[in-house]
Amino acid sequence: MKTNKIVVCGGGGFIGGHLIADLLSKGQRDIRAVDLKPFDEWYQHFPQIENLQLDLQEKAACEEALEGAATVFNLAADMGGMGFIENNRALCMLSVLINTHLLMAAKKHGVQRFFYSSSACVYAADKQTSQDVVALRESDAYPAMPEDGYGWEKLFSERMCRHFREDFGITTRVARYHNVYGPQGTYDGGREKAPAAICRKVITAKLAGKPEIEIWGDGLQTRSFMYIDDCVYGTQAILASDILEPINLGSTELVTINQLVDMVEDIAGIKLKRTYNLKAPKGVRGRNSDNTLIKQYLKWEPNTPLREGMEKTYAWIYDEMAKGRADKAAPAMAKA
Residues involved in catalysis: 150
Do residues 51 and 39 touch, judged by C-beta distance below 8 A? yes
Give the containing element (helix H, strand E) for 106.
helix 96-109
Conformation bin of residue 190: beta by default, left when phi > 0, alpha when psi is -120 to 50: left
- What is each CA distance from 75 to 19, 176, 278, in whole angstroms? 10, 12, 32
User: What is the distance between the alpha carbons of residues 264 and 141, in angstroms, rounded to a whole number?
Assistant: 32
Do residues 36 and 326 touch, judged by C-beta distance below 8 A? no
> Which of 144, 149, 54 is CA-nearest to residue 94?
149
Do residues 43 and 184 touch, judged by C-beta distance below 8 A? yes
Q: Is 193 helix (H, G, I), strand (E, B) or coil?
A: coil
User: What is the distance between the alpha carbons of residues 253 and 319, in angstroms, rounded to a whole number?
Assistant: 27
User: What is the distance between the alpha carbons of residues 217 and 321, in angstroms, rounded to a whole number?
Assistant: 25
User: What is the distance between the alpha carbons of residues 328 and 44, in angstroms, rounded to a whole number?
Assistant: 10
Residue 302, C-beta contacts closer than 8 angstroms, at least 6 positions apart: 226, 227, 230, 231, 234, 249, 250, 251, 291
> Which of 310, 117, 317, 332 is CA-nearest to residue 223?
310
